[in-house]
């Protein structure tokens, strides 16, 4: 195919930034009938957790999730790798280990060369191989925009399940990866991200959150979730709402990708960042003098973002050190859970 279009030009949005508006999603879910009762359904959709969990007779739990999106990069292998890493993350965020994946593929026939599609699939398979799982099948359709992702199945023991709703007052809060992925993707869309920035972008979005099961084995770790399209505020608010607590974020301690602060001040902000703030800004208390560009860092949609971890405060430094030693050098202690209304307060 000559004069092939850029992958990212074929989609209205990219990565987890193309999620539904969180306010609309909550409205849609609220309108659905109650699930169950199913006594073996350990985790359903009641707290907007990362995956569903079903307990078998022997105490083994089956974790099931699906995630897919449109391209945020133009290299097809990189697109496949990012999408696969992001999908597998949901299993790790529940405290489980993946065992197999099924591919989800939608491609605009006649607009993309089959070789490009094959490279997308190859990228996804590379990450699945890194995670030690097969791509055991899947489904494909003709679609108006390119779509790729995975349905992933994992397992863990019942005692290892970590929900997003089980934080305790007094817990420390840790984030395992730097923020700024959506800002970088906005720069990619406009062909303004330099080679160094692109390397940093790929490094973080293709870093598997495989530390999740190790964290879940630690009794001092109470809650886990991963940070994706709703940004640190949106997914942090899910923690707060689930536990009925206030999450206090120390803005100065949030880890950022190297160019994130500069790029956001130059106007590289996604539409999803604005939608996120409109959807849940009423439940966030910001410092009066916080500039808009710093607020955009807080609502920036992350694709294949880090794990948000709550743990007993007296174990926080040891757990943080373990995370860093495990291959997540940007990990940082970013806040705490306090008794109070289910809100977020941003300090600093």
61 is catalytic: no
Residue with tokens 């078998």: 56
| Tokens at 176, concatenated | 């395992």
DSSP code string of 138-159 = EEEEE-SS-EEEEEEEEEEEGG
Q: Which of 16, 18, 61, 311 is catalytic?
A: 16
Spatial separation of the C-alpha atoms in residues 78 and 1, rounded to whole Å: 20
Q: Which one, of 186, 193, 208, 198, lies nearest residue 307 by Cα?
A: 208
Spatial separation of the C-alpha atoms in residues 98 and 155, rounded to whole Å: 6
Spatial separation of the C-alpha atoms in residues 113 and 115, rounded to whole Å: 5
Spatial separation of the C-alpha atoms in residues 197 and 24, rounded to whole Å: 33
Largest CA distance in the chain: 60
Spatial separation of the C-alpha atoms in residues 273 and 82, rounded to whole Å: 20
The neighbour count for residue 309, using CB atoms within 10 Å, is 32
With a CB cutoff of 8 Å and minimum separation 6, the contacts of 277 are 233, 295, 299
With a CB cutoff of 8 Å and minimum separation 6, the contacts of 321 are none
Active site positions, annotated: 16
């Amino acid at each position: 195919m000559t004069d092939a279009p850029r992958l990212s030009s074929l989609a209205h949005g990219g990565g987890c930034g193309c999620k539904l508006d969180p306010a609309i999603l909550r409205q849609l879910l609220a309108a659905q009938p109650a699930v169950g009762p199913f006594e073996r359904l350990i985790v359903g959709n009641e707290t907007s957790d990362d995956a569903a969990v079903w307990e078998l007779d022997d105490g083994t739990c089956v974790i099931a999730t699906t995630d897919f999106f449109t391209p945020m990069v133009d290299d097809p292998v990189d697109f496949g790798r990012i999408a696969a890493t992001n999908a597998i993350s949901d299993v790790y965020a529940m405290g489980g280990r993946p065992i197999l994946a099924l591919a989800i593929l939608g491609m605009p026939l006649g607009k993309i060369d089959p070789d490009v599609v094959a490279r997308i699939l190859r990228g996804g398979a590379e990450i699945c191989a890194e995670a030690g799982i097969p791509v055991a099948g899947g489904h494909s359709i003709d679609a108006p925009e390119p779509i790729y992702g995975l349905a992933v199945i994992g397992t863990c023991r019942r005692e290892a399940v970590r929900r997003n709703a089980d934080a305790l007052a007094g817990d420390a809060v840790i984030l395992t990866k730097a923020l700024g992925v959506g800002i970088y993707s906005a720069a990619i869309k406009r062909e303004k991200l330099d080679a160094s920035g692109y390397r940093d972008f790929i490094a973080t979005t293709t870093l598997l959150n495989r530390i999740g099961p190790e964290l879940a084995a630690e009794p001092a770790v109470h809650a886990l979730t991963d940070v994706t399209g709703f940004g640190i505020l949106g997914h942090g608010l899910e923690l707060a709402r689930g536990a009925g607590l206030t999450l206090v974020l120390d803005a100065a301690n949030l880890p950022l990708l190297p160019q994130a602060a500069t790029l956001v001040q130059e106007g590289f902000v996604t539409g999803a960042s604005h939608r996120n703030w409109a959807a849940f800004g009423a439940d966030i208390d910001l410092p009066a003098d916080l500039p808009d560009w710093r607020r955009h860092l807080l609502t920036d949609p992350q694709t294949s973002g880090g794990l948000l971890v709550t743990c007993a405060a007296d174990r926080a430094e040891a757990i943080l050190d373990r995370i860093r030693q495990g291959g997540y050098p940007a990990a940082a202690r970013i806040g705490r859970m306090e008794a109070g209304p289910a809100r977020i307060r941003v300090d600093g």
